[in-house]
Each structure stands twice: as C-alpha cells, then as structure tokens.
Structure 1
Amino acid sequence: MAYDRTAMLKLLRPAMTRILTPLGRALVGRGIGPNAVTAIGTLGTVVSALLFFPLGQLTWGALVITVFVLFDLLDGVVARLGGKGGTTWGAFLDSTLDRVADAAIFAGLILYFISRHDTLMAAVTLVCLIAGALVSYAKARAEGLGLTADVGLAERPERLVVALVAACFSGLGVPYILPVGMWLLAAASVITVAQRVVAVYQQTRRDER
C-alpha cells in the first residue's frame, strides 16, 4: 500500500483555509499580494529560528515559527481572494523561500546544540538539514528531466512537524524528545533521498528498454 505523504495536508488544508480566509481578505483589502505574504512568512521563520533556538527558547521558537509556517497556506488564500490565482513566478518564489525557511530552522537547532556543547546532536541535525535539501532537490531535478520522484518517508510537512513538535516539547521539559526526533528525522530523510534516487533510476531503466 502506497503511503500518501500529503494526507495530513489534505485533512488540514480546508480547515486552515477557512480560518485564514478573514485574514487573507483583510490583506487583499490593503493591497498586499501573495508574494509579499510568502516573503513575510519566510522572514519571520528565519528571524524566529535564529533568535529563539540558539538562546534555548525552544517552545517559544517552535510556536512562533508555526505561526509563520501557516503563511505557506495564507499566500494561496490571498492569491485566490485577489482573483489572480497562482503564477509561475509565485510558485518559484514559494518553493525557493521554503528551502530558506527550512535551512534556518535546522540551523537554529544546530546553534542550540553547539551552545550546549553537544557536537553529536549538532552533527545529526546537520544531516537533517542536508538530507532535507537533497529530498527537495531530487524531486525538482527529476521533474526537470520529465520524471517523477515523489516517493519517500519524509516530505517537507513531516520534517517540519517532527522538528517543531520535538523542539516545543523539549522546551517544556520532556526528556530526550529532541534528540530522538532529530535521529529519526535524519534517518527518514536519508532513506527518502535513497528512495527517490532508486525511483528515478528505475524510470530511466524502463525508458532505455
């Protein structure tokens, strides 16, 4: 049975869209477009991750970042309410800034571990950062070649949920949850990269027959 990596978003997106619609309507009324919303969300995520996490404010950091991550849904709401829909430039900007936001989150956690002189966990979190970037790159590169690579355990929503939930509860004093979360996420991300490489290889082999 295939694992539907987007099942969580399929369930949450309609509800979140209804919640965000009044805010989206207010932004449209003030002439704020979806690309501006995307940029604000990314900037807020970057600043929050690099400010709260290195200072050890894991719970506050995770909560504030979660608010800005919701801008990933809000930009779509604004585009729809503005009557313009999505654009090619908007899609490119959104995907690119998603990578920036993800890198900032894991960079903030790396700095947190370094501040605690935990070199091992800093290295594990660095694996999460690098492997996460490779997961996204593998899919984008495959699609650029006319192939697909949407398989794997750890898509972006899963990576964000694991990282932010682990950080939040670690800040509340739950023992070991952040290290365990990072180890699991590192393993899942590496496995996902391998799954996508294998998927592309199998498609190219079929095309050569």
Structure 2
Amino acid sequence: MLNKYARAFFTRVLTPFAALLLRLGVSPDAVTLIGTGGVVAGALVFFPQGEFFWGAVTITLFVFSDLIDGNMARQAGTSSRWGAFLDSTLDRVADAAVFGGLALWYAGRGDSILLCAVAIFCLASGQVVSYTKARGESIGLPVRVNGLVERAERLVITLVSAGLAGFEKFGVPHIGVLLPIALWVVAVGSLVTLAQRVVTVRREAAEADAAAGPGPEPGSGTGAEQGSGSA
C-alpha cells in the first residue's frame, strides 16, 4: 500500500533532482550503488552502537536513491533489465544491513538474544517474501498479491521506530521500547505476507496447470526420447 501512494508522491517531488543529476552526468547505476553503500554504512556503523536516531536519519536519506535512480532512467530513456536487476539485488543487500545492524546491537550491548533472533527473523523473512514473488513470476505466474507488509512497510516501521527510540539518548524516557515492538510487528507481518504469497502462488499454479490440461502420461514419450539414456 505504501509502495503505491508514497512512491507516486516522492517520484513527483524528486523528479527535478533526478533531472539535475542527469545534467551533471551522473548515471542511474551510480546512484543505485551510492544509495546502497550509504544505507549499509548507516546501518552497520550506527545501529550496532545504539545510535538509532542518527542511523535512521542516514539510512532514510540514502533510501531515497531507490526512487531517484528509476526516475533518472525513465527520464533518460535508459530503463533496462540490467538496471532493474541491479536495483532489486541491492535492495536485498540494504534490507539485510538494516536488520543485521539491529541484530548486532541486540547481540552485543543491547543484551537481548530474543530480540537479536527477532531481528534475524525479520532479515530472513524479508528476503524470502521478496523471493516468493520473484520466483512465482519467473515460472510465468502473475502473483496477484502484495501482502500485509511489503518492503516499504518494513522499512518505514523499522526506521521510524528506530529514529524515535534514538530520542531516549536525548532524555526522552521509555521511548526505546518502540523499537522492540516494531521488530515484533515486522516479524509477524512478514510471516503473514509470506503465507499470503505462498497461498497465492499455489492457487495460481493449480489454475495454470488445470488450464494447460493433463501432461503426457509416464512412459508415453516418443521412441527417440525413450531411447535416450543421457542424463
């Protein structure tokens, strides 16, 4: 849901900036790489030290590169399969860094093995949620479902709660509890989303198989096929 409305809004806002970068000779791929590098650095430098406010601010600034690079490619007429592949792949790297940084905090000075495990679950489930849709589409299914918690929701919930939790270092009492709550929300939401996508792919696969009709019965291949013994 956030993907639909927030992306449309920020695309309009960032279009002039994307045009400026193109005039300066910056490529969309360079923006993708710099943005991912900034997210990874922000997550793995600030979060393990418990600097949630500055980590969230840094990551949020670089997350916008995910909108800028695609905008630049469309304006320049250079949208490509490679660009889409690079963007999607580095999104997974950035997400892993965010939850990996939180896991490192809870495994260390955060002193909570349970929350470390929850952060790792958020990391892993987010990757699998993305994979289910990509894999379903790769075998020719439409995968007509987004799910309860997509990537945008996972990032917004996590970064907003981390940023607010960071105010505890500025003297705001008990606000740090927002981050553990957010991690549990993301974990449960990701699990529900995964189930939604798996059920959808199973239904669509069954419908596609039924529409295609029954395949050849075992042992009913041609003579040439039956005579071939190569694996």
TM-score by length of 1: 0.91
Residue 76 of structure 1 and its aligned partner are, at CA, apart by 1.9
Q: Which has the higher contact order (CA 8 A, sep 6+)?
A: 1
Where in structure 1 are there 5+ consecutive unaligned residues? none
For residues 203 and 146 of structure 2, the distance between their equivalents in structure 1, rounded to whole angstroms, comes to: 13
Which region of structure 1 is more displaced relative to structure 2, 23-32 or 115-124? 23-32
Where in structure 2 are there 5+ consecutive unaligned residues? 169-174, 211-231
Determine helix, strand or coil for the equivalent of 1:41. Answer: helix
Residue 9 of structure 1 and its aligned partner are, at CA, apart by 3.4
1:152 paired residue number: 147
**Alignment RMSD (CA, Å):** 1.4
Note the alpha carbon deviations across 1:25-49, whole angstroms, 9 max, x for none: 2211221111111111001100110
User: How many equivalent pairs are there?
Assistant: 202
For residues 167 and 184 of structure 1, the distance between their equivalents in structure 2, rounded to whole angstroms, comes to: 13
- AA paired with 1:151? N
Say whether the 8 Å CA contact 2:166–2:176 is kept in structure 1: no
For residues 77 and 148 of structure 1, the distance between their equivalents in structure 2, rounded to whole angstroms, comes to: 25
- AA paired with 1:75? D
1:100 paired residue number: 93
For residues 179 and 78 of structure 2, the distance between their equivalents in structure 1, rounded to whole angstroms, comes to: 39
**Residues 69-108 of structure 1: matches in 2 within 5 Å?**
69-81=63-75, 83-108=76-101
**Residues 163-202 of structure 1: matches in 2 within 5 Å?**
163-173=158-168, 174-202=175-203
The answer to whether the aligner puts 1:162 opposite 2:163 as a matched pair is no
The answer to whether the aligner puts 1:139 opposite 2:133 as a matched pair is yes
- AA paired with 2:149? A
Runs of 4+ residues over 6 Å off in structure 1? none
Change (3 A) 1:15 1:152: closer
Residue 207 of structure 1 and its aligned partner are, at CA, apart by 2.7
2:119 paired residue number: 125
Residue 61 of structure 1 and its aligned partner are, at CA, apart by 0.5
- AA paired with 1:38? T
For residues 126 and 8 of structure 2, the distance between their equivalents in structure 1, rounded to whole angstroms, comes to: 26
Determine helix, strand or coil for the equivalent of 2:147. Answer: coil
- Say which one has the larger Rg: 2
